[in-house]
Amino acid sequence: MSKSLAASHSQGKHEPDNIFGVNAAANEKAKIVGKENIVNASIGAFLDPQGELITLPTVEKTMYSLDFKDAANYAPIAGLPDFIKAAIDVTFGEHKPDAYINGVATPGGSGGIHHAIWNYTEVGDTFLTSDWFWSPYQTMAKEMGRKIDTFTSFSEKGNFNVRACLGKVAELAKVQKNVLLIINSPAHNPTGFSLTDEEWEQVIAGLKELIEKGQNNIILFVDIAYLDFAPPGSRKFFKLFSQLPASFLVIVAFSMSKGYTMYGYRTGCMIGISSDKDIIDEFFNINQYSNRGTWSNGTRSGMQCLVKLWKNPELMDQVNKEREEFRLSLENRARTFLDEAKEVGLEVCPYHSGFFITVPTSKPDEIGLKLQDDNIFIVPLGRGLRIAVCAIPAEKLSGMATKIKEAKDLLGG
Ligand SMILES: Cc1ncc(COP(=O)(O)O)c(C=O)c1O
């Protein structure tokens, strides 16, 4: 074994960065064949046809309009009060749940996921999510001495597998008082799946039924990282979080990373929803405390930017219009890939909206490597290939499903 000075819980911590590796391979190949001949489907950010980051012009202008002396200052530990109000407002829109609601600013949605795991499960506990999931959930579980368990994401018909989800919750509830369930919807990463309002109703009803037995607390964490790239009407399900039992806490993670193209500004807000004021006061206190105990305060300029937009409806309108244009272009990209996939008989995970489409396969690494011969660079996941349609213009997406199908047929899996 190599030498180590690390504490026992930190020894061996290491994670190969798949995305970085594939991106580096794409850049190397571009030096040989030219950037224009490369399809780099590895980057999880919205890029223009030249491969540059797309940003929302009104967000950019608003950031530049901030007074630097003010923006450079510390923010309050829990976040600027107006930022919390704005985050709650833009998250729920017209569908604000009828409940006590408060928020704590976090560095992106990641900060909220961290605090939810830390503050609502015991050391050694397990938390749940679907079997297709954003891999940092696993990293965070390990980092905090927790375990992750999963349920089958999809039914045979390609719907959300409500039964598998509730079954796993019931199983865990037998051995653990607090059950933390993370659901990433709408526009799930990596599949692009979204729960329908009916599926949300069924999940909530099942969780309420379990709570009525009086043995458990449910913490439902809704990861809405890609909410703003789901079609209009995707916020209705928030109303279902109204007047839930006191031992049922919902946490929604607002993030400015994708919706406001402010990825690196690390600005988000974890929003707690409960029918019980004590539970929400506790939510605010313990998560504010965890801010102090980890990264201290968040990025003041990011918070100020949202506040400035929120206080000026014209500006916010402009942002929403600009984003809608990008969303439609994303929809067009996804449609290009999906139509061709259907035509050539390439299986994909159920996709509704969002940055990624996933092709399930038992040989992701082999197929990923083979595709590099065709100048196509895709990130292999444990059980599939994640195609970042957000990073590729529609022209370059055309032909890609055919190539993937050919590689799959050749290598099997
Ligand atoms: C599913 C999912 N959740 C949460 C996040 C968190 O992002 P951020 O911390 O930048 O808000 C991401 C980012 O890629 C994501 O894909």
Is residue 95 included in any domain, yes or no?
A: yes
At residue 51, the pLDDT reads 85
Residue 16 confidence (pLDDT) above 80 = no
Please indicate whether residue 109, judged by its CB atom, sits closer than 6 Å to ligand 1.
yes
138 shares its domain with 204: yes
Q: Is-contact 123 145, C-beta < 8 A?
A: yes
* Residues 298 and 357 reside in one and the same domain: no
Is 377 near ligand 1, meaning CB less than 6 Å away?
no
What is the 2 CA–ligand 1 centroid distance (Å)? Answer: 33
Instruction: Kindly list the distances between the CA atom of residue 267 and the CA atoms of 108, 227, 258, 343, in Å, as whole numbers in the listed order.
Output: 5, 15, 11, 41
Task: Return the pLDDT at 287.
Answer: 98
Q: Of all protein residues, whose CA lies closest to atom 15 belonging to ligand 1?
A: 225
Is residue 130 in a domain? yes
- What is the tally of structural domains in the chain? 2
Distance CA 327, CA 234 (A): 13
Domain boundary among the residues 282, 311, 340 is at: 311
Among residues 286, 311, 336, the one where a domain terminates is: 311
Give the residue, 147 or 23, on which the prediction is more confident: 147
Diameter over CA atoms, the chain: 64
Residue 289 lies in a domain: yes
pLDDT band at 17 (very low <50, low <70, confident <90, very high): confident
* Whether residues 39 and 85 fall in one domain: no
- Any atom of ligand 1 within 6 Å of the Cβ of 255: yes
Q: Roughly how many angstroms between the first and final C-alpha of the chain, as a whole number? A: 35
Gap from CA of 140 to ligand 1 centroid (Å): 12
For the chain, how many residues are written?
Answer: 413
Residue 35: pLDDT over 80:
yes
Same domain (yes/no): 336, 306:
no
| 8 within a domain of the structure (yes/no) | no
The more confidently predicted of residues 109 and 51 is: 109
- Do 254 and 105 belong together in one domain? yes
Same domain, 49 and 133: no
Task: Tell me: do 237 and 183 sit in the same domain.
Answer: yes
Nearest alpha carbon to residue 327 among 236, 238, 251, 233: 233
Tell me, yes or no, whether 266 and 377 share the same domain.
Answer: no
What residue's CA is closest to ligand 1, atom 13? 225
The CATH number that applies at residue 396 is 3.90.1150.10
Domain shared by 102 and 212, yes or no: yes
Q: Is residue 4 part of a domain?
A: no
pLDDT score at 294: 97
- The answer to whether residue 379 sits within a structural domain is yes
Edge-to-edge strand list for the sheet holding 217-223: 100-106, 268-274, 248-255, 217-223, 178-184, 126-130, 147-151
State whether 86 and 209 are in the same domain. yes
Same domain as 159, residue 220? yes
* Tens digits of residue pLDDT in 298-317: 999 999 999 999 999 999 99
CA atoms of 295 and 83, how far apart (whole Å): 18
Least confident of 15-24, 189-198, 270-279, 402-411: 15-24
Distance CA 192, CA 185 (A): 8
pLDDT confidence tier of residue 43, bands split at 50, 70 and 90: confident
Q: Which domain holds residue 339?
A: 15-56+322-411
Do 338 and 382 sit in the same domain of this protein?
Answer: yes
Label residue 162 left, alpha or beta by phi (over 0 means left) and psi (-120 to 50 means alpha).
alpha
Confidence bin at 186 (pLDDT 50/70/90): very high
Which CATH number characterizes residue 222's domain? 3.40.640.10
In the block, tokens 């950010």 appear at: 45
Give the pLDDT confidence of 329-352 residue by residue, as tens digits: 999 999 999 999 999 999 999 999
* CA dist., res. 63 & res. 312, Å (int): 14
* Ligand 1 neighbour 189 (Cβ under 6 A): yes
Q: CA-CA distance, 105 to 97, in Å (whole number)?
A: 19
* In-domain check, residue 317: no
268 lines ligand 1 (CB under 6 A): yes
CA of 212 to the centre of ligand 1 (A): 33
Residue 385: name the closest of 51, 18, 129 by CA. 18
pLDDT at 1: 63
Which range among 45-54, 225-234, 300-309 shows the weakest confidence by mean pLDDT? 45-54
Span from the CA of 123 to the centroid of ligand 1 (angstroms): 23
Q: Is residue 1 part of a domain?
A: no
CB 377 within 8 A of CB 329: no
Domain boundary among 311, 334, 358: 311
Per-residue H/E/C for the chain: CCCCCCCHHHCCCCCCCHHHHHHHHHHHHHHHHCHHHCEEECCCCCECCCCCECCCHHHHHHHHCCCHHHHCCCCCCCCCHHHHHHHHHHHHHHHCCCCEEEEEEECHHHHHHHHHHHHHCCCCCEEEEECCCCCHHHHHHHHCCCEEEEECCECCCCCECHHHHHHHHHHHHCCCCEEEEEEECCCCCCCCCCCCHHHHHHHHHHHHHHHHCCCCEEEEEEECCCHHHCCCCCCHHHHHHCCCCCCEEEEEEEECCCCCCCHHHCCEEEEEEECCHHHHHHHHHHHHHHHHHCCCCCCHHHHHHHHHHHHCHHHHHHHHHHHHHHHHHHHHHHHHHHHHHHHHCCCCCCCCCCCEEEEECCCHHHHHHHHHHCCEEEEECCCEEEEEHHHCCHHHHCCHHHHHHHHHHHHCC
Q: What is the mean pLDDT of residues 68-97?
A: 97
Q: Read off φ and ψ for residue 374, nearest 5 degrees.
A: -95, 15
pLDDT of residue 110: 97
